[in-house]
Structure 1
Amino acid sequence: MQVQVRGRGARRWITFGVIAFGGLFLVVGLILAGVSVSFLTDAERARGTVVALEWRNDGTGTARKKRVNDDPAAYPVVEFASADGTPRKFRDSTGSNPPSYEVGEQVEVLYRADSPEDARIKGFASLWLLPLIFGGIGLVIGGIGTVVALVTRRRP
């Protein structure tokens, strides 16, 4: 009898931990979404041109284990003129393979007027990918923990 009580208590703590972990990821996703929304409301818009593709591996070193897809990703380098006419150049934070953009392609750039070096390409991945990943993982893990908690609670 005593073993069952300890086992049930441990299961409850593990279930609570899974729900808390999922909730943490969900909160991080919501914060990142809020940062994107804040950026969009304050952002200036400009036309830019992709002037180069910077190919790089995210992890370097020979001691690293080989991943399934170890190909380099292409990060677009974009040139644009801010509202004051100053030419600016930045590397977008989102890379892909195959490349999402081609050299010479026209893109819409979003930047903060008070800090034009904080610029992004107006695209789904650069604005919403991280919030969706964190929020999605949080919903799945928290949902699984909640279902497990509800199912085990109903058992006699």
Structure 2
Amino acid sequence: MQAQARGRKARRWIIFGTIAFGAVFLVVGLVLAGQSVSLLNDAERARGTVVGLEWRKDHSSSSRRNRSDDRPAAYPVVEFTPAEGTPTRFRSSTGANPPSYEVGERVEVLYHADSPEDAQINGFASLWLLPLVFGGLGLLTSGIATVVALVTRRRSRPRRSLRTTGP
């Protein structure tokens, strides 16, 4: 009987930890989405040109290097001229293979006037990929763990038997 109670306690802690883990990911996703919305609302806009593609492999694990699908990603290098007039270059934080942009392609750039070197391309992947990944994983993990918690709670409740009383 005691082993069964310990097992239930351990299960509860695992479920609670999973819900908390998912909640942290969900909060990170919401914060990143808030930063994207803030950038869209407050940033200056300029036209930029993709002047190059920086091909990078960002894998430190040697086991991943041996995979056949382990290909480098192309990160666009964009040049634009902010309102102050000094041409600025930046490398996008989002890479893809095949490349999302071609050299010479015109893009809209979002930047803050006080730090134009921290600019971003106004594109779906640049603004919304990380918020969707973190928020989606957090929502999925917390949601599944919550459903498991509710189901196990219902199963562990003692069932009340309906008694019929006779005369």
| TM-score interval for Structure 1 and Structure 2 normalised by the shorter chain | over 0.9
Structure 1 residue 25: Cα displacement: 0.6
Matched, 1:64 2:72: no
Give yes or no for the alignment of 1:18 onto 2:18.
yes
DSSP 3-state at the match of 1:131? helix
* Stretches of structure 2 lacking an aligned partner (at least 5 in a row): 158-167
Inter-partner Cα distance in structure 1 for 2:152 and 2:59: 42
Rounded Cα–Cα distance in structure 2 between residues aligned with 1:51 and 1:40: 23
Q: Which runs of 4+ in 1 moved over 6 A?
A: none
- Structure 1 residue matching 2:94: 3-state secondary structure: coil
Distance 2:22 2:93 in 1: 26
Query: Where does 1:75-90 land on structure 2 (aligned, <5 Å)?
Result: 75-90=75-90
- SS of the residue aligned with 1:96? coil
Post-superposition Cα deviations, 1:19-55, rounded to whole Å, max 9, x if no partner, equal 1111111011111111111222211000011010111
Per the alignment, residue 91 of structure 1 pairs with: 91
Name structure 1 gaps, 5 residues minimum. none
Q: What TM-score comes out, normalization by structure 1 length? A: 0.94
What is the CA-CA distance between 1:114 and the residue it aligns to?
1.2
Q: Distance in 1 between matches of 2:97 and 2:88?
A: 25
Residue 116 in structure 1 maps to residue 80 in structure 2:
no
> Displacement, 1:69?
2.4
Q: Which amino acid aligns with 1:2?
A: Q
Q: Quote the offset at 1:8 in angstroms.
A: 0.9
Q: In structure 2, what is the equivalent of residue 137 of structure 1?
A: 137
Alignment TM-score, normalising by the size of structure 2: 0.88
Q: Tell me the residue number matched to 2:160.
A: none
Structure of greater Rg: 2
Q: Distance in 2 between matches of 1:56 and 1:7?
A: 47
Partner of 1:103: 103
Percentage identity across aligned positions? 74
- Give the Cα separation in 1 of the matches to 2:71 and 2:84: 39
Secondary structure in 2 matching 1:53: strand
Mapped partners of 1:93, 1:32: distance in 2: 14
